[in-house]
Amino acid sequence: MDMVLGIDVGGTSIKVGLFTPEGKFLDERKITTTELVSEQAFAAVTGAITAFLAEHDAGPEDVIACGLDVPGPVADDGTLGIIANVELDPKGFVAAFKAAFPQASIAFVNDANAAALGEMWAGAAKGANSCVVIAVGTGVGAGIVANGRLVAGAFGAAGEAGHVTVNRDETRQCGCGRYGCLEQYASAQGIVRTYLEECERRCVKPVDVEHATDTLSVFRALADGDECAKYAVEVMCDYLGLVMSQISCIVDPELYLIGGGVAGAFDTFAPMLRERFDAYALKPSRAARIEVASLGNQAAMYGSAYEALRIRRESRTPSLE
Ligand SMILES: [Zn+2]
């Protein structure tokens, strides 16, 4: 039976999703890894996946496509840029997979881009022809699908919505080395920071915040009528709505999906985000829907499986020239 793998590649573990070629999710397995740079490490991974397949009455030769999503840039031609926090030898990794799963086409996809593809394949964007999935979590990332195809960029940096400059007067540096990026205000960390700063400015005691990305406490405070929490969420929606309006000027998607950890509070901030987007967007683009992503942390797994499958299908299609 034909099987498709979608694999989240992380720093200390990988998460393997097993799918049918039609996009039906069958099962997933987390595999703890060492640094993915040696034959030994590769063999441990492919061996664990083979055992996982056996539980589903499948063998290595049943795998027809295998997508690997990574937390770093992947260019349009599939080449990887530098991936922070993950030790990975991509060439060795691919070679080991090709040897272990000889029938499989193999693809690397950036995780935010993979999430967008996953939502198009089997999630909330199913049936849409153009869609931008914005993951609002520790950082802010986006995956852009236009005319049914991923826009990864010549250098793998397409969809880096979190690093669109929204405040040229910012003096605090962003993780990317620049200043005033969207991520500094609209990420989980940004929301918490804005909240704490506003409390300090107004000389009011903030609610207990457990960690730097604890937006749950901020949204809870908002529900209790906390003015500083309201301000932090307004800032987040204002900058996010602004950047979405700018994305619309370039790619004009029919649908925006908000994913990532902060999407848990989507119902709370959606009306405000809608209002800000409409205020900034060019009139025709205001028809875009803004909804919540549906596949959660499985989205990238789905999307990387889909991309590997697409590559397989396209390479099989005979050329018309
Ligand atoms: Zn930045």
In a domain, 242, yes or no: yes
Q: Can you tell me the distance from the alpha carbon of 296 to that of 131, in angstroms, rounded to the nearest whole number?
A: 16
Q: Ligand 1: distance of its center to the CA of 319 in Å?
A: 42
Is residue 54 domain-shared with residue 76, that is, in the same domain? yes
Q: Ligand 1: distance of its center to the CA of 184 in Å?
A: 7
Q: Ligand 1: distance of its center to the CA of 68 in Å?
A: 25
pLDDT band at 148 (very low <50, low <70, confident <90, very high): confident
pLDDT of 316 > 80? The answer is no
Q: Can you tell me the distance from the alpha carbon of 67 to that of 173, in angstroms, rounded to the nearest whole number?
A: 34
Q: Ligand 1: distance of its center to the CA of 139 in Å?
A: 9
Q: Ligand 1: distance of its center to the CA of 53 in Å?
A: 40
Q: Ligand 1: distance of its center to the CA of 161 in Å?
A: 9
Predicted local confidence at residue 317, as pLDDT: 53
Predicted local confidence at residue 10, as pLDDT: 84
Neighbour-count burial of 149, counting CB atoms closer than 10 A to its CB (0-12 exposed, 13-18 middle, 19+ buried): middle
Q: Which percentage of the chain shows pLDDT scores above 90?
A: 84
pLDDT band at 277 (very low <50, low <70, confident <90, very high): very high
CA 29 to chain centre: 20
Q: Ligand 1: distance of its center to the CA of 35 in Å?
A: 27
Is residue 251 domain-shared with residue 288, that is, in the same domain? yes
In a domain, 143, yes or no: yes
Predicted local confidence at residue 289, as pLDDT: 98
In a domain, 194, yes or no: yes
What pLDDT, in 10s, does the model give residues 72-126? 889 888 888 887 778 889 899 999 999 999 999 999 999 899 999 999 999 999 9
Is residue 144 domain-shared with residue 101, that is, in the same domain? no
pLDDT of 194 > 60? The answer is yes
Q: Ligand 1: distance of its center to the CA of 99 in Å?
A: 39
Tell me how many domains the chain contains: 2
| CA angle (56 as vertex; 50, 61 as ends), nearest 5 | 50
Is residue 179 domain-shared with residue 276, that is, in the same domain? yes
Q: DSSP class of residue 27? A: E
Predicted local confidence at residue 318, as pLDDT: 53
Predicted local confidence at residue 189, as pLDDT: 95
pLDDT of 208 > 80? The answer is yes
Q: Can you tell me the distance from the alpha carbon of 314 to that of 311, in angstroms, rounded to the nearest whole number?
A: 5
Is residue 52 domain-shared with residue 178, that is, in the same domain? no
Predicted local confidence at residue 78, as pLDDT: 84
Is residue 210 domain-shared with residue 66, that is, in the same domain? no
In a domain, 321, yes or no: no
Is residue 139 domain-shared with residue 260, that is, in the same domain? yes
Q: What is the 3-state secondary structure (H, E, C) of 140-189?
A: EEEEEEECCEECCCCCCCCCCHHHCECCCCCCCECCCCCECECHHHHCHH
- When pLDDT is averaged across residues 178-196 and rounded to a whole number, the result is 96
Answer for the pair 63, 4: CB distance below 8 angstroms, yes or no.
Answer: yes
Is residue 178 domain-shared with residue 309, that is, in the same domain? no
Predicted local confidence at residue 61, as pLDDT: 96
Is residue 105 domain-shared with residue 129, that is, in the same domain? no
Q: Ligand 1: distance of its center to the CA of 243 in Å?
A: 13
Identify the helix (H) or strand (E) that includes residue 5. strand 3-9
Full residue range of the structural domain in which residue 152 is found: 124-294
Nearest by Cα to 139 from 115, 193, 175: 175
Is residue 69 domain-shared with residue 150, that is, in the same domain? no
Is residue 26 domain-shared with residue 171, that is, in the same domain? no
pLDDT of 302 > 60? The answer is yes
Query: Residue 296 to residues 15, 19, 39, 56: CA-CA distances in angstroms?
Result: 14, 16, 33, 24
CA quadruple 154, 173, 297, 215: dihedral sign: negative
What pLDDT, in 10s, does the model give residues 214-267? 999 999 999 999 999 999 999 999 999 999 999 999 999 999 999 999 999 999
Q: Ligand 1: distance of its center to the CA of 56 in Å?
A: 43
Contacts of 73 (CB under 8 A, 6+ apart): 80, 81, 82, 83, 110, 153, 155, 156, 157
CATH number at residue 145: 3.30.420.40
